[in-house]
Amino acid sequence: MNLISLKELSKLSDVLDEQDHESLQLLVAMKDFVKGISIIDEDGRYRQVNPYYAEACGYAPDEMKGMKWENTVDETSMSEARKLWDDMVRNNRAETTLVGKRKDGVLFTKKVILYLKRDRNGKHNGHFCFMYKID
C-alpha cells in the first residue's frame, strides 16, 4: 500500500458520494498540514513512510519499510514511547513529545500523534504516526 498522491486523490473524487468527497478533502488537507506521516503495522514495523518523516529520521523512505519504530526513538524516551502506545490502544489516539534518533545517531525532538488503525472488522491492525520535528 502506498501513500496516495494529491493527483490520485483528485481523480477519486469523481466517483465518491458527498460524504466520501468531504472525507477525501479532509485527507488532502491533512496531507498538506501534517508533515511526517507513517503507517506502522501491528508488529511495530513501518509499512509506509512519507519523505518528510524519513528525512527527519535520516533515512530514505524505502529504507524504513520493515524497520521497527524503536530505531527512531532515543533510549531516554523509550519508556514514554511505550506509555504512548498503551494510551493509544486505550483511547484510540495519543500524543507526546519524544527524543528521536536519526540513522546517524543525531538526536532531535519530535512531536508524535498516534492513531489506532483497525481493519473492516474492527480488529487492531497497526497505527498511523504523525510526526514533526521541533528542533
Compute CA distances 59 → 72, 104, 109, whole Å.
10, 9, 16
Q: Mean pLDDT, to the nearest integer, of 105-121?
A: 92
Cα radius of gyration rounded to whole Å, the chain: 15
Q: Same domain, yes or no, for 51 and 114?
A: yes
The H or E element containing residue 74 is none
pLDDT tens column, 15-74: 555 556 566 666 666 666 678 999 999 999 999 999 999 999 999 999 999 999 999 999
Q: Same domain, yes or no, for 48 and 27?
A: no
pLDDT tens column, 74-84: 999 999 999 99
pTM of the model: 0.77
Output the pLDDT for position 101.
97
Q: Same domain, yes or no, for 29 and 42?
A: no
Range of the domain at 17: 1-33
pLDDT tens column, 79-108: 999 999 999 999 999 999 999 999 999 999
Burial class (CB in 10 A: 0-12, 13-18, 19+), 116: middle
Q: Same domain, yes or no, for 55 and 114?
A: yes
Residue 10: pLDDT band with limits 50, 70, 90: low
Output the pLDDT for position 19.
57
Q: Same domain, yes or no, for 28 and 94?
A: no
Classify the C-alpha dihedral 71-77-79-82 as positive or negative.
Answer: negative
Number of folded domains that form the chain = 2
Q: Same domain, yes or no, for 64 and 106?
A: yes
Q: Same domain, yes or no, for 111 and 54?
A: yes
Closest by alpha carbon to 1, among 35, 44, 34, 48?
A: 48
Q: Same domain, yes or no, for 42 and 100?
A: yes
Output the pLDDT for position 92.
92
CATH of the domain at 102: 3.30.450.20
